[in-house]
Amino acid sequence: MKIKGLSTIRQKLMVFVVLLCGVLLGLVWLLNVWLLEPFYTHKVHTDLQRTADAFSLLIQKYETLEDPSQPNGISPDFYSAVQQPEYTTMLLGKCIEIADANYNCLLGNHALSSGQCLLHPARTTLFGDTGLPSWNNKNVLAYRAQTLADGDMYFTLNGQNGMRQMVVCKNVADRYTVIVSTDLERIGQAGEVIGQQVPLIAAVLLAVSILGAYLFSKWFTKPITELSHAAREVAKGNYQVRVREPENADELGQLARDFNTMAAEVGRTSELQRDLIANVSHDLRTPLTLIKGYAETVRDLTGDDKQKRTDQLDVIVDETDRLSGLVNSVMELSKYSSGTMKMEPVRFDLAQLCDEVADRYRNVCEQNGYHLDVQTDQVCMVKADPDSMSRAIHNLLSNAIHHIGEDGYVALHVKPQADGSTRVEIIDHGAGISKEDLPYIFDKYYRSRADAGKVGTGLGLSITKAILISHGYAFGVDSELGKGSTFWFVAAAAEPEKSAEA
């Protein structure tokens, strides 16, 4: 729902808090004014009903309550039972009477907190109020008769000066009646007083809620405002901007950390793109300069010297091939990264493929005095795209020879694992990779400090990464400065071929 005029989160938070406060005040008013008296009356009625039921059950245990031989005319066993604490406790603040089928009061107890009973008003004589309740007045006789005739009932008596009394009448087996009553406090007046106080309380709470909402919204939106400002700075090209990360791990703190991570990655990507432009510009400028120079030489100076013309044209062809290789690498990386390169997975022996790739480098290693250690003795069946995997292994092995150490050692090991997968390791004893460069070594266009100034675009490992990711293979590099590096990947085991049914 869109509220006109509320354009910021801060304004919306303030309105929400104020409205919430208003709703809560409305609920307080409803409970304390409208529902106070009904809740109180229900509670009193439940208490009186429980007392009447308890005495009704007690009466039903006896065949008769009358005993003419006793001074009070009541069975001593019953009289003794009603004197027990479990019954006397129920009668605190109440008036109770027990009458027979002839409407005669057998037992009564008056313990109202007000001291005045509307059901059994004090008897009066010519000499004034006696202070003793009239247990058999005409009104109560009518109530006993109605209870015996119609069954259980309850009602409220209203007296002078706002006095009120709730009465519960219980029919006990059509032989006796139990009538219990108690005072009803002036809850209605209390509700009116509370109702008069609610507007003042509401005004105070509304002012406090507006102030609290203002302070809360300011505190809550501060990190969002900082994020918004930082985002605009990033849009302007300032990738060094960062936002403060709160110590707590709430959603805004996580958002701040994610923003800082994003800004760092965007800055690094921008830097890598600048490096790419510089690297590609350098790699393009050199062959283009040579091509142009030799082409001009062939045109202007070589003349009829066939040997010179052939040598110069060979240089032009070589530099053109170099340019083509650069362009092809960029296009190949783009296809693997975008997923447009179509993979055709088949079952094959990865160890055999690695051995075939290593064969291409044996002559180079022998000519340069390098030691190529190839361990591909065990069959390792995988299901992958052979051309892509050949390209990945070629890139890793070429990278290892490019960074070979003084001992001239480079290795290609294929190791079957216990779970059926295959681990391929390419090892060199070169300069190694620093811990700062290690997390980014597979990123496109990235070059470690040790490679600064070398020819190339740094796309080989990026292409390898894209190939391995497309196959879902785990990969990585373990390296230590001065001791060399081990590039590795783990190819999942191929599912066994299903035998054709006859």
In degrees rounded to 5, what are phi and psi of residue 472? 75, 25
This prediction has a pTM of 0.45
Rounded distance, CA 428 to CA 408, Å?
Answer: 8
Q: Residue with structure tokens 């590795």?
A: 488
- Burial label for 437, CB within 10 Å (0-12, 13-18, 19+), is middle
Rounded distance, CA 211 to CA 208, Å?
Answer: 5
Per residue, what are the HEC states of 64-132?
Answer: CCECCCCCCCECHHHHHHHCCHHHHHHHCCEEEEEEECCCCEEEEEECCCCCCCCCCCEEEECCEEEEE
Judging by DSSP bridges, how do beta strands 484-491 and 474-480 pair with one another?
antiparallel
**Upper half-sphere CA count for residue 252 (Cβ side, 13 Å):** 15
Judging by DSSP bridges, how do beta strands 122-125 and 371-375 pair with one another?
unpaired
Distances (CA, A) of 211 to 14, 201, 204, 208, 218: 9, 16, 11, 5, 11
Extract the tokens encoding 401: 């020879």
- Check residue 61 and report its DSSP letter: T
Rounded distance, CA 322 to CA 462, Å?
Answer: 19
Q: Contact at 8 Å (CB) between 460 and 426?
A: no
Per residue, what are the HEC states of 315-375?
Answer: HHHHHHHHHHHHHHHHHHHHHHHHCCCCCCCEEEEHHHHHHHHHHHHHHHHHHHCCEEEEE
Q: Which helix (H) or strand (E) holds 209?
A: helix 187-235
Extract the tokens encoding 284: 């393009």
In degrees rounded to 5, what are phi and psi of residue 122? -65, 140
Q: Which residues pair with 493 in a beta bridge?
A: 382
Distances (CA, A) of 338 to 58, 270, 463, 466: 89, 19, 12, 9
- Burial label for 102, CB within 10 Å (0-12, 13-18, 19+), is exposed
Extract the tokens encoding 141: 């006789």
pLDDT for the residue numbered 476: 94
Cβ of 473: how many Cβ atoms within 10 Å?
19
Longest CA span, the chain: 161
- Render 473-494 in DSSP notation, one character per residue: -EEEEEEETTTEEEEEEEEPBP
Distances (CA, A) of 446 to 25, 261, 268, 343, 432: 63, 18, 10, 26, 16
Q: What share of the chain is helix, strand, coil (3-state, %, to 5)?
A: 55, 20, 30
**Upper half-sphere CA count for residue 226 (Cβ side, 13 Å):** 19
CA 295 to chain CA centroid, Å, is 67
Task: Give which of 109, 130, 114 is closest to 164, Cα–Cα.
Answer: 114
**Weakly modelled stretches of the chain, pLDDT under 70:** 1-10, 31-34, 123-132, 186-197, 248-249, 272, 275-286, 300-303, 322, 325-326, 329-340, 444-458, 497-502
Give the total residue count for the chain: 502
pLDDT for the residue numbered 129: 44
Residues contacting 283, CB < 8 A, separation 6+: 322, 326, 455, 456, 457
- What are 391-419's pLDDT values in tens digits? 899 999 999 998 999 999 999 999 999 99
